[in-house]
Amino acid sequence: MLPRRPLAWPAWLLRGAPGAAGSWGRPVGPLARRGCCSAPGTPEVPLTRERYPVRRLPFSTVSKQDLAAFERIVPGGVVTDPEALQAPNVDWLRTLRGCSKVLLRPRTSEEVSHILRHCHERNLAVNPQGGNTGMVGGSVPVFDEIILSTARMNRVLSFHSVSAWSLSAGILVCQAGCVLEELSRYVEERDFIMPLDLGAKGSCHIGGNVATNAGGLRFLRYGSLHGTVLGLEVVLADGTVLDCLTSLRKDNTGYDLKQLFIGSEGTLGIITTVSILCPPKPRAVNVAFLGCPGFAEVLQTFSTCKGMLGEILSAFEFMDAVCMQLVGRHLHLASPVQESPFYVLIETSGSNAGHDAEKLGHFLEHALGSGLVTDGTMATDQRKVKMLWALRERITEALSRDGYVYKYDLSLPVERLYDIVTDLRARLGPHAKHVVGYGHLGDGNLHLNVTAEAFSPSLLAALEPHVYEWTAGQQGSVSAEHGVGFRKRDVLGYSKPPGALQLMQQLKALLDPKGILNPYKTLPSQA
């Protein structure tokens, strides 16, 4: 049986978000992304090694002597209780399961260094784990890799605002295991915001966000982590601590080594400390939730909105009618606007409430007047803003309650972004329960999801490689923001040429010659 709640559930996570319930039926916030996993009576997840054709590499297995060594390195931080190990062996989507027998909970970079030095000497494989909210199975062991959890590395080390390194942003330095939502709260109290936000914020760790190069809901405005992460401390495979932990906005002293680790999913080193740029908290935030009669109107709404809202536009998300139905059915969230084929969520963030309201007002007037939008609602107070955001943020959760989910996260030319959804509906017919499309339109990022009652090899065969070939045909990316992990490692070739894959292998061999860091992930299995 699975435990009712994962290991070391922090107290604040059990409280739920204040003011988040109400007529919308269910708590919105930290519990959301975890909700579906703790339902009792959920069927056992099959072992990854049984479902997928993967062979264990010749790593050592953990011995009593190893456990004693770990206990010396992290006293009280060695977990071997089988029940406590069940949750961290299973991924958030509950479709992958490893059989690790040890989880380590270091508190410091030094402890991580000692652990890796030992594992490197002993040829023991290590699976770094943050909030375990990833979508591609990058954060759970495939076999018996040691799980190295960053959960206890959750200290903020420093926060500098106006008076120190920068006058235009705050600079946060914290350990890798800090939960994103906790960090958001911390910097917001100081009048700044985190440069990224995502549905899993209540559980995900900043170290995992950086290791997976998370995109999310603020990408449109604040850009990629390759631009906002200022520095990293990373422990390399042999235990060496690599200090790239600058807090400088500009630093051209040699190769920008930290970039190597952003998005490398713990396969090149384990991120232990993060220095990140935090934009000032906007004085005025507005959210509009609109219904659109077709996808062409969604695109046109975005162009118009970008032109009329310009620099204050901070998010433009879209979802289709089926998403809204599923959010209603599984999470009891009601649509705030009349039924439409598509919905868009627009957020503005600016420094002058009057100016922003005026810009948004003009835009809405135009959009409604020209038929781009058929119905809409707006929010400025925080409670309603959160409710509108929940409709978009909780789609992932609603889908996971709908059955087995085949997930695709594609970068595509915006014009053709929705074609693959209609194509799949026709292709799959009644074999799929639902085919939905939603995502970050302004970034050309579609989340394409197909649900079914259960996993089925024939449905999978109808989906793959079709979806990947279709994407490659558009010069798109088969993983826009979710990363590669275990699930996508053998489809990289659809988006990357052989020369690039070869250089990735060479970098892996340089930084982790024994291959002990997060094996079976990120790089293609054949090479």
Is the CB of 163 or the CB of 458 nearer to its own copies?
163
List b or e across 58-80, with b for residues whose CB sees 16 or more CB atoms inside 10 angstroms. Answer: ebeebeeebeebbeebbeebbbe
Is the CB of 103 or the CB of 420 nearer to its own copies?
420
Is the CB of 243 or the CB of 339 nearer to its own copies?
243
Q: Where are the alpha helices (DSSP H) in 247-394?
A: 258-261, 295-309, 321-331, 353-369, 382-393
Element containing residue 370 per DSSP (H, E): none
CB of 517 to its own copies, least distance (A): 13
Beta bridge partners of 179: 205
CB of 260 to its own copies, least distance (A): 7
Is the CB of 422 or the CB of 475 nearer to its own copies?
475
Is the CB of 61 or the CB of 506 nearer to its own copies?
506
DSSP designation for 231: E
Is the CB of 219 or the CB of 389 nearer to its own copies?
219
Element containing residue 451 per DSSP (H, E): strand 445-452
Is the CB of 348 or the CB of 451 nearer to its own copies?
348
State the Cα–Cα distance between residues 467 and 460, nearest whole angstrom. 10
Closest CA to 99 of 49, 42, 150: 49
Identify whether the C-beta of residue 219 lies closer than 8 Å to the C-beta of residue 317.
Answer: no
- Two tokens at 40? 């009792």
CB of 258 to its own copies, least distance (A): 9
Write phi, then psi, for 345 (nearest 5 degrees): -115, 125
CB of 75 to its own copies, least distance (A): 27
CB of 105 to its own copies, least distance (A): 26
Is the CB of 268 or the CB of 345 nearer to its own copies?
268
- The CA dihedral of 29, 33, 39, 44, to the nearest 10 degrees, is -170
- What's the sign of the alpha-carbon dihedral 161, 166, 170, 173? negative
Q: What interhelical angle do 109-122 and 64-73 show, nearest 10?
A: 160
Is the CB of 61 or the CB of 303 nearer to its own copies?
303
CB of 506 to its own copies, least distance (A): 6
Closest CA to 229 of 243, 211, 205, 210: 210
CB of 334 to its own copies, least distance (A): 29
Is the CB of 141 or the CB of 439 nearer to its own copies?
439
Is the CB of 214 or the CB of 331 nearer to its own copies?
214
Cα→Cα distances 21→18, 108, 184, 387, 489, Å: 8, 37, 21, 9, 39
Q: Is 458 exposed, middle or buried (0-12, 13-18, 19+ CB in 10 A)?
A: exposed
Closest CA to 196 of 276, 262, 282, 316: 276
What are the counts of helices (DSSP H) followed by strands (DSSP E) for the chain?
A: 20, 16
State the Cα–Cα distance between residues 66 and 100, nearest whole angstrom. 14
